[in-house]
Amino acid sequence: MDFVSLVLISHSEEIVVGLKKLINQVQPNVAIAIAGGVDGEIGTNVFHIKEAIESVHSEKGTVVFFDLGSALLNAEMAIEMVEGNENIRIADAPLLEGAYFAAVEAGFGHSLREVVASGEAAKSFQKVPDL
């Protein structure tokens, strides 16, 4: 079965390495690529992001998650550079919870639209109940 893939972008390599490991334990069938840090330092790199997208891009699509504003700018530029980018989406979602929710949805074989929606639903996920 072909699944929607995920790309995780962070200014910190350690963050996306750990997040990928966490998600792979829950959903090992979904392809996940990471782009984090620049030469061992904090930052993002448009070419690393492009390579990450190309390494997992599937016919069902790819959803990109990012941590901070400048990562969004680099993600947008990277997507423009990818040939056949019609089914690549950037999720407006928290990196950890959004990617986790999206990976679960993708693992069920759901559509790109459904995977993006699941990731973006994490914005309103209440972690602590009202007292």
The domains found in the chain, sorted by start residue, are 5-124 (3.40.50.510)
pLDDT surpassing 80 at residue 27 = yes
Summarize the confidence of residues 13-36 as an average pLDDT. Answer: 97
| Residue 40, token pair as written in the block | 């061992």
What local confidence, expressed as pLDDT, does residue 130 receive? 85
Residue 1 has pLDDT above 70, yes or no: no
State yes or no: is 48 an active-site residue. no
Q: What is the pTM of this model?
A: 0.94
Average pLDDT over residues 85-109: 97
What's the chain's average pLDDT?
A: 95
Reported as a single tens digit per residue, the pLDDT across 48-86 is 999 999 999 999 999 999 999 899 999 999 999 999 999
pLDDT of residue 6: 98
Annotated active-site residue in 11, 48, 57, 110: 11
Phi, psi for 68 (deg, rounded to 5): -130, 165
| Both tokens assigned to 106 | 């993708």
- pLDDT on residue 131: 79
* H/E element, 8: strand 5-10
Percent of the chain with pLDDT over 70: 99
- Can you tell me the mean pLDDT for 4-20? 97
What φ, ψ does residue 104 adopt, rounded to 5°?
Answer: -60, -45
